[in-house]
Amino acid sequence: MSEVCILISVIVLVIIAGPMIRTGKSKKPKRLSKIAMLALLLIVLGIVLGEDRSTGYSLMGVGVVLAIIDIIKNLKKR
């Protein structure tokens, strides 16, 4: 079960870091938005506090939802 949790967290981190990697050719790297930083923090806390499943999964779930909201907001700005 912990392998699934780690796999989900890695996928979410790739989704969050994906746009940053694509813009690697620009002169100035883009900073993470406040929502993305909060999402990343919640996901990491979910992994760290993963021994209590309900706490770990709920923190990671909220982090994933925030990351998706941030991605949608950034897509609409373009």
Tell me the H-state helices in the chain: 2-22, 34-48, 53-77
Given this model, what pLDDT does residue 67 score? 92
DSSP 51: T
| pLDDT tens-digit map of 18-35 | 766 665 555 566 788 899
Q: For the ranges 2-6, 68-72, 74-78, which has the lowest average pLDDT?
A: 2-6
pTM here? 0.62
Question: In whole angstroms, how far apart are CA 33 and each of 5, 54, 56?
Answer: 25, 27, 23
